[in-house]
Structure 1
Amino acid sequence: MSTARNPDDASDPTPVQAAGCVLWRRSPTDGGLQVCLVHRPKYGDWSHPKGKLKRDEDPLAGALREVEEETGHRAAPGAPLPTVGYEVNGRPKQVRYWAAEAVSGVFTPNDEVDRLLWLPPPAARDRLTQPRDRTLVDALLQVLHLT
Protein backbone atom coordinates (compact mmCIF):
# COMPACT_ATOMS: atom_id res chain seq x y z
CA MET A 1 0.00 0.00 0.00
CA SER A 2 1.46 3.33 -1.07
CA THR A 3 1.58 6.24 1.36
CA ALA A 4 2.61 8.76 -1.29
CA ARG A 5 0.26 11.71 -1.53
CA ASN A 6 -1.23 12.83 -4.80
CA PRO A 7 -0.58 16.60 -5.03
CA ASP A 8 -3.85 17.05 -6.92
CA ASP A 9 -6.04 15.03 -4.50
CA ALA A 10 -8.68 17.47 -3.21
CA SER A 11 -9.52 15.15 -0.29
CA ASP A 12 -5.99 15.52 1.09
CA PRO A 13 -6.01 18.36 3.66
CA THR A 14 -2.22 18.76 3.53
CA PRO A 15 -1.40 22.04 1.77
CA VAL A 16 0.34 21.84 -1.58
CA GLN A 17 3.76 23.41 -1.05
CA ALA A 18 5.02 25.81 -3.69
CA ALA A 19 7.57 28.60 -3.92
CA GLY A 20 8.41 31.53 -6.13
CA CYS A 21 10.03 34.92 -6.36
CA VAL A 22 9.10 38.47 -7.03
CA LEU A 23 11.83 38.88 -9.63
CA TRP A 24 13.18 42.37 -10.17
CA ARG A 25 15.85 44.28 -12.03
CA ARG A 26 16.93 47.80 -12.81
CA SER A 27 15.76 49.04 -16.21
CA PRO A 28 18.55 48.95 -18.79
CA THR A 29 17.35 52.31 -20.15
CA ASP A 30 16.64 54.49 -17.10
CA GLY A 31 17.69 52.47 -14.04
CA GLY A 32 14.16 52.37 -12.65
CA LEU A 33 12.88 49.32 -10.80
CA GLN A 34 11.12 46.70 -12.93
CA VAL A 35 9.17 43.65 -11.78
CA CYS A 36 8.96 40.49 -13.88
CA LEU A 37 5.55 38.99 -14.59
CA VAL A 38 4.87 35.76 -16.46
CA HIS A 39 1.83 34.86 -18.54
CA ARG A 40 0.64 31.27 -18.17
CA PRO A 41 -1.50 30.27 -21.16
CA LYS A 42 -3.01 27.30 -19.27
CA TYR A 43 -4.64 29.72 -16.83
CA GLY A 44 -4.68 32.86 -18.98
CA ASP A 45 -3.20 34.84 -16.10
CA TRP A 46 -0.30 37.12 -15.21
CA SER A 47 1.60 36.16 -12.07
CA HIS A 48 4.96 36.00 -10.37
CA PRO A 49 7.11 32.99 -11.33
CA LYS A 50 6.33 30.12 -8.96
CA GLY A 51 5.61 26.42 -8.86
CA LYS A 52 5.16 23.28 -6.81
CA LEU A 53 8.10 22.04 -4.83
CA LYS A 54 9.60 18.67 -5.62
CA ARG A 55 9.61 16.06 -2.87
CA ASP A 56 11.95 17.18 -0.03
CA GLU A 57 13.08 20.22 -2.04
CA ASP A 58 14.28 23.23 -0.08
CA PRO A 59 11.73 26.04 -0.65
CA LEU A 60 14.30 28.67 -1.64
CA ALA A 61 16.04 26.26 -4.02
CA GLY A 62 12.63 25.43 -5.50
CA ALA A 63 11.76 29.10 -5.89
CA LEU A 64 15.02 29.79 -7.76
CA ARG A 65 14.51 26.66 -9.91
CA GLU A 66 11.00 27.80 -10.85
CA VAL A 67 12.24 31.31 -11.69
CA GLU A 68 14.87 29.90 -14.02
CA GLU A 69 12.47 27.40 -15.62
CA GLU A 70 9.73 29.97 -16.20
CA THR A 71 11.77 33.08 -17.05
CA GLY A 72 15.16 31.83 -18.26
CA HIS A 73 16.80 34.08 -15.64
CA ARG A 74 19.11 33.19 -12.81
CA ALA A 75 18.39 35.17 -9.70
CA ALA A 76 20.16 36.33 -6.56
CA PRO A 77 17.78 35.71 -3.66
CA GLY A 78 17.01 38.44 -1.19
CA ALA A 79 14.63 38.85 1.71
CA PRO A 80 11.72 36.50 2.28
CA LEU A 81 8.33 37.94 1.36
CA PRO A 82 4.92 36.95 2.76
CA THR A 83 3.66 33.43 2.23
CA VAL A 84 0.43 33.38 0.24
CA GLY A 85 -2.26 30.79 0.90
CA TYR A 86 -5.28 29.94 -1.22
CA GLU A 87 -7.29 26.98 -2.48
CA VAL A 88 -6.79 25.21 -5.78
CA ASN A 89 -9.39 22.62 -6.80
CA GLY A 90 -10.62 22.42 -3.20
CA ARG A 91 -7.16 21.86 -1.74
CA PRO A 92 -5.11 24.38 0.25
CA LYS A 93 -1.93 25.69 -1.33
CA GLN A 94 0.87 27.64 0.34
CA VAL A 95 3.36 29.58 -1.75
CA ARG A 96 6.51 30.92 -0.11
CA TYR A 97 8.07 33.92 -1.85
CA TRP A 98 11.38 35.73 -1.87
CA ALA A 99 12.55 38.96 -3.41
CA ALA A 100 15.13 38.06 -6.06
CA GLU A 101 17.22 40.16 -8.41
CA ALA A 102 17.62 38.89 -11.97
CA VAL A 103 21.34 38.56 -12.65
CA SER A 104 21.50 36.87 -16.05
CA GLY A 105 19.42 35.05 -18.61
CA VAL A 106 17.16 35.31 -21.60
CA PHE A 107 13.48 34.39 -21.78
CA THR A 108 12.38 31.74 -24.24
CA PRO A 109 8.63 31.08 -24.54
CA ASN A 110 7.51 27.56 -23.63
CA ASP A 111 4.34 25.58 -22.96
CA GLU A 112 4.10 26.77 -19.36
CA VAL A 113 4.97 30.46 -19.87
CA ASP A 114 4.42 32.06 -23.25
CA ARG A 115 5.08 35.72 -22.39
CA LEU A 116 7.17 37.71 -19.93
CA LEU A 117 6.97 41.40 -19.07
CA TRP A 118 9.28 43.72 -17.13
CA LEU A 119 7.11 46.50 -15.69
CA PRO A 120 7.48 49.37 -13.21
CA PRO A 121 5.84 48.39 -9.89
CA PRO A 122 2.55 50.31 -10.39
CA ALA A 123 2.04 48.76 -13.85
CA ALA A 124 2.99 45.30 -12.53
CA ARG A 125 0.49 45.64 -9.70
CA ASP A 126 -2.23 46.58 -12.21
CA ARG A 127 -1.36 43.74 -14.62
CA LEU A 128 -1.36 40.93 -12.03
CA THR A 129 -4.49 38.81 -12.32
CA GLN A 130 -4.87 37.84 -8.64
CA PRO A 131 -5.23 40.56 -5.98
CA ARG A 132 -3.19 38.38 -3.58
CA ASP A 133 -0.19 38.75 -5.91
CA ARG A 134 -0.41 42.55 -5.83
CA THR A 135 0.47 42.65 -2.14
CA LEU A 136 3.79 40.98 -3.01
CA VAL A 137 4.78 43.98 -5.15
CA ASP A 138 4.19 46.20 -2.12
CA ALA A 139 6.23 43.81 0.05
CA LEU A 140 9.08 43.95 -2.48
CA LEU A 141 9.11 47.74 -2.36
CA GLN A 142 9.29 47.58 1.46
CA VAL A 143 12.25 45.18 1.55
CA LEU A 144 14.07 47.26 -1.08
CA HIS A 145 13.33 50.35 1.09
CA LEU A 146 11.48 52.08 -1.74
CA THR A 147 8.31 52.93 0.19
Structure 2
Amino acid sequence: MTTPRDTPVQAAGCVLWRRSPVDGRLEVCLVHRPKYDDWSHPKGKLKRGEEALTGAVREVAEETGYTCEPGTELSTVCYYAAGRPKEVRYWAAEAVAGGFTPNDEVDRILWLTPAAARDRLTQPRDRDLVDELVCDSPV
Protein backbone atom coordinates (compact mmCIF):
# COMPACT_ATOMS: atom_id res chain seq x y z
CA MET A 1 0.00 0.00 0.00
CA THR A 2 1.33 3.43 -0.93
CA THR A 3 1.45 6.11 1.72
CA PRO A 4 1.65 9.87 1.16
CA ARG A 5 5.37 9.68 2.09
CA ASP A 6 5.89 7.24 -0.82
CA THR A 7 4.13 9.46 -3.35
CA PRO A 8 6.68 11.58 -5.19
CA VAL A 9 6.56 15.34 -4.78
CA GLN A 10 5.89 16.77 -8.25
CA ALA A 11 8.04 19.72 -9.33
CA ALA A 12 9.16 21.41 -12.54
CA GLY A 13 11.81 23.80 -13.74
CA CYS A 14 13.86 25.04 -16.64
CA VAL A 15 17.42 25.14 -17.80
CA LEU A 16 17.17 28.84 -18.60
CA TRP A 17 19.46 30.11 -21.34
CA ARG A 18 20.23 33.19 -23.39
CA ARG A 19 22.76 34.45 -25.89
CA SER A 20 25.36 36.66 -24.24
CA PRO A 21 24.73 40.36 -24.93
CA VAL A 22 28.52 40.74 -25.27
CA ASP A 23 29.57 38.00 -27.68
CA GLY A 24 26.45 35.99 -28.54
CA ARG A 25 27.69 32.82 -26.84
CA LEU A 26 25.33 30.50 -24.98
CA GLU A 27 24.85 31.31 -21.29
CA VAL A 28 22.95 29.31 -18.67
CA CYS A 29 21.23 30.91 -15.68
CA LEU A 30 21.81 29.44 -12.22
CA VAL A 31 20.02 30.52 -9.05
CA HIS A 32 21.48 30.69 -5.54
CA ARG A 33 19.11 29.69 -2.75
CA PRO A 34 20.36 31.04 0.59
CA LYS A 35 18.21 28.59 2.58
CA TYR A 36 20.26 25.68 1.17
CA ASP A 37 23.36 27.70 0.13
CA ASP A 38 23.28 25.94 -3.23
CA TRP A 39 23.38 26.73 -6.95
CA SER A 40 20.73 25.10 -9.12
CA HIS A 41 18.39 25.55 -12.05
CA PRO A 42 15.17 27.45 -11.32
CA LYS A 43 12.55 24.93 -10.19
CA GLY A 44 9.84 24.36 -7.64
CA LYS A 45 6.88 22.34 -6.49
CA LEU A 46 3.76 22.31 -8.60
CA LYS A 47 0.59 23.86 -7.23
CA ARG A 48 -2.43 21.59 -6.90
CA GLY A 49 -3.76 20.82 -10.38
CA GLU A 50 -1.01 22.81 -12.13
CA GLU A 51 0.44 21.44 -15.36
CA ALA A 52 4.18 20.80 -15.20
CA LEU A 53 5.12 23.18 -18.03
CA THR A 54 2.99 25.96 -16.54
CA GLY A 55 4.70 25.42 -13.19
CA ALA A 56 8.15 25.45 -14.77
CA VAL A 57 7.52 28.80 -16.48
CA ARG A 58 6.01 30.22 -13.26
CA GLU A 59 9.03 29.12 -11.22
CA VAL A 60 11.44 30.73 -13.69
CA ALA A 61 9.55 34.03 -13.40
CA GLU A 62 9.34 33.86 -9.59
CA GLU A 63 12.96 32.90 -9.04
CA THR A 64 14.73 34.87 -11.78
CA GLY A 65 12.40 37.70 -12.82
CA TYR A 66 12.61 36.53 -16.46
CA THR A 67 9.85 35.45 -18.77
CA CYS A 68 10.88 32.55 -20.93
CA GLU A 69 9.98 30.70 -24.08
CA PRO A 70 10.05 26.97 -23.30
CA GLY A 71 11.45 24.59 -25.87
CA THR A 72 12.48 20.96 -25.74
CA GLU A 73 11.56 18.92 -22.70
CA LEU A 74 14.69 17.62 -21.01
CA SER A 75 15.10 14.67 -18.67
CA THR A 76 13.06 14.23 -15.52
CA VAL A 77 15.28 14.13 -12.44
CA CYS A 78 14.29 11.88 -9.54
CA TYR A 79 15.82 12.02 -6.06
CA TYR A 80 14.95 12.05 -2.38
CA ALA A 81 14.42 15.33 -0.53
CA ALA A 82 13.66 15.35 3.18
CA GLY A 83 13.10 11.59 3.05
CA ARG A 84 10.52 11.80 0.27
CA PRO A 85 10.85 10.94 -3.41
CA LYS A 86 10.80 13.97 -5.70
CA GLU A 87 10.35 14.13 -9.48
CA VAL A 88 11.35 17.30 -11.31
CA ARG A 89 10.45 17.72 -14.99
CA TYR A 90 12.69 20.15 -16.89
CA TRP A 91 12.52 22.09 -20.14
CA ALA A 92 15.11 24.07 -22.04
CA ALA A 93 13.82 27.65 -22.01
CA GLU A 94 15.12 30.85 -23.56
CA ALA A 95 14.99 33.99 -21.43
CA VAL A 96 13.12 36.58 -23.48
CA ALA A 97 12.55 39.53 -21.14
CA GLY A 98 12.90 40.64 -17.57
CA GLY A 99 15.51 41.19 -14.93
CA PHE A 100 16.48 39.80 -11.57
CA THR A 101 15.53 41.26 -8.21
CA PRO A 102 16.78 39.42 -5.10
CA ASN A 103 14.08 37.85 -2.93
CA ASP A 104 13.80 35.57 0.11
CA GLU A 105 14.01 32.39 -1.96
CA VAL A 106 16.76 33.42 -4.42
CA ASP A 107 19.35 36.03 -3.50
CA ARG A 108 21.60 35.81 -6.60
CA ILE A 109 21.63 34.55 -10.16
CA LEU A 110 24.55 34.00 -12.50
CA TRP A 111 24.69 33.80 -16.29
CA LEU A 112 27.52 31.39 -17.07
CA THR A 113 28.97 29.49 -19.99
CA PRO A 114 27.81 25.86 -20.00
CA ALA A 115 31.22 24.68 -18.71
CA ALA A 116 31.22 27.22 -15.87
CA ALA A 117 27.60 26.37 -15.03
CA ARG A 118 28.49 22.67 -14.78
CA ASP A 119 31.31 23.55 -12.38
CA ARG A 120 29.14 25.84 -10.23
CA LEU A 121 26.10 23.55 -9.84
CA THR A 122 25.91 22.07 -6.35
CA GLN A 123 24.21 18.79 -7.28
CA PRO A 124 25.95 16.53 -9.82
CA ARG A 125 22.52 15.42 -11.11
CA ASP A 126 21.93 18.97 -12.40
CA ARG A 127 25.07 18.89 -14.56
CA ASP A 128 23.58 16.33 -16.95
CA LEU A 129 20.82 18.83 -17.78
CA VAL A 130 23.41 21.37 -18.98
CA ASP A 131 24.97 18.69 -21.17
CA GLU A 132 21.55 17.79 -22.51
CA LEU A 133 20.81 21.44 -23.31
CA VAL A 134 24.06 21.82 -25.23
CA CYS A 135 23.96 18.48 -27.07
CA ASP A 136 20.29 17.74 -27.68
CA SER A 137 18.45 21.03 -27.84
CA PRO A 138 18.36 23.42 -30.78
CA VAL A 139 19.74 26.42 -28.86
What TM-score do you get using the length of structure 2 for normalisation?
Answer: 0.96
Q: Which amino acid aligns with 2:80?
A: E
Q: Please tell me whether the aligned partners of residues 11 and 91 of structure 1 are also in contact (alpha carbons under 8 angstroms).
A: no
* 2:1 aligned with 1:12: no
Whole-angstrom CA distance in 1 between matches of 2:136 and 2:101: 29
Give the C-alpha shift of residue 17 in structure 1: 0.2
1:49 aligns with 2:42: yes
* Structure ID, larger Rg: 1
Q: Aligned to 1:79, which of 65, 72, 79? A: 72
Superposed CA RMSD? 1.3
- CA positional deviation for 1:145: 4.9
After TM superposition, the structure 1 = structure 2 runs for residues 49-128 of structure 1, keeping only pairs within 5 Å, are 49-128=42-121
Shift of 1:39: 0.1
2:96 aligned counterpart, secondary structure: strand
Once the two structures are TM-superposed, the CA of residue 144 in structure 1 deviates from its matched residue by 3.0
Distance between the aligned counterparts of 1:145 and 1:116, measured in 2? 24
Q: Percent identity?
A: 72
Question: How far did residue 143 of structure 1 move?
Answer: 2.6
Listed one character per residue, the Cα deviations across residues 92-126 of structure 1 (whole Å, up to 9, x for unaligned) are 00000000000000100000000000000000000
User: What is the rounded CA distance, in whole Å, between the counterparts of 2:125 and 2:100 in structure 1?
Assistant: 25
Q: How many aligned residue pairs are there?
A: 137
What is the aligned partner in structure 2 of residue 135 from structure 1?
A: 128
* Partner Cα separation in structure 2 for residue 102 and residue 46 of structure 1: 18
Letter in 1 for 2:94: E
**d(CA) in 1 for partners of 2:51, 2:136:** 22
Distance 2:33 2:130 in 1: 19
3-state secondary structure, aligned to 1:132: helix
What secondary structure sits across from 1:124 in the alignment?
helix
Ranges of 4+ aligned residues in structure 1 off by more than 6 Å: none
Gaps (5+ residues) in structure 1? 1-9
